[in-house]
Amino acid sequence: MRGALLVLLLGTPMAAAQESSVALVRLADGTELPLASWKLVYEHQTWKEGSSPAFAEIQRREGRELIADKKLLPVAGGKLELQHRVYEKTDEQGQKVPGAAVTGLVLSVGGKRTTLKPEAPSKEVLAGDVKKVYYQARVLDLVGETLTGTKRELCLVSFSPLVECSALPADRVVSIEFR
């Protein structure tokens, strides 16, 4: 009984320390933004077979790991670099506006570098092993709080044409150090 209580008491500060870690975000314009209480959030939608995607249910999965297909890759203590292809596109009014797409991810944790493609996680990891349900991953966001307590949500990778991450340098994340 004492051993279980000791484990419970010792485990609590460790969990609190993990929650209080900071993600130092570097944006394409050179600014740095520290985020406390950060989470990686995968947004996806599901809809029943035979129904319209317009009636899809949007869901979110929060965690502190990247998902590569069916693998969960912890990021704590590591660095994530986002490689972009920047281009110019024309909007509905005929104006030229910047565009950007993530072409690769590099996760460095404990001296090990892992190169990842920006591909949607598997249906089983995000939506579960649900039968007769269609699934579409939408986006990977980083959510946290600034030092002043403002909640921020930064788009990292879009998996769907329904969601587009900003290409503006002041919004485009190029790296994150998870401290």
* Chain segment 48-86, per-residue pLDDT in tens: 888 888 889 899 999 999 999 999 999 999 999 999 999
Q: In the numeric block, which tokens belong to residue 177?
A: 């150090």
Q: What is the pLDDT of residue 162?
A: 84
Range(s) of the domain holding residue 156: 20-178
Instruction: Kindly state whether residue 30 falls inside one of the protein's structural domains.
Output: yes
Provide the pLDDT confidence category of residue 17 given band limits of 50, 70 and 90.
very low
The residue ranking higher by pLDDT, 99 or 12, is 99
Q: pLDDT-based confidence at 1, cuts 50/70/90?
A: very low
Q: What is the pLDDT of residues 140-178, one digit of tens each?
A: 999 999 999 999 999 999 999 888 999 999 999 999 999
Question: Rounded to whole angstroms, how far apart are CA atoms 29 and 68?
Answer: 28
Task: Provide the CA 81 distance to its chain's centre, in angstroms.
Answer: 12
Q: Is position 124 within any domain?
A: yes
**In-domain check, residue 14:** no
Helix (H, G, I), strand (E, B) or coil at 44: strand
**Dist CA 5 CA 15 (whole Å):** 15
Whether 123 maps to a domain, the answer reads yes
Task: Provide DSSP, 113-146.
Answer: EEEE---PPPHHHHT-S-TTEEEEEEEEEEEEE-
Q: Is residue 4 part of a domain?
A: no
Total domains in the fold of the chain: 1
The answer as to whether 25 is a domain residue is: yes
User: Does the residue 5 lie in any domain?
Assistant: no
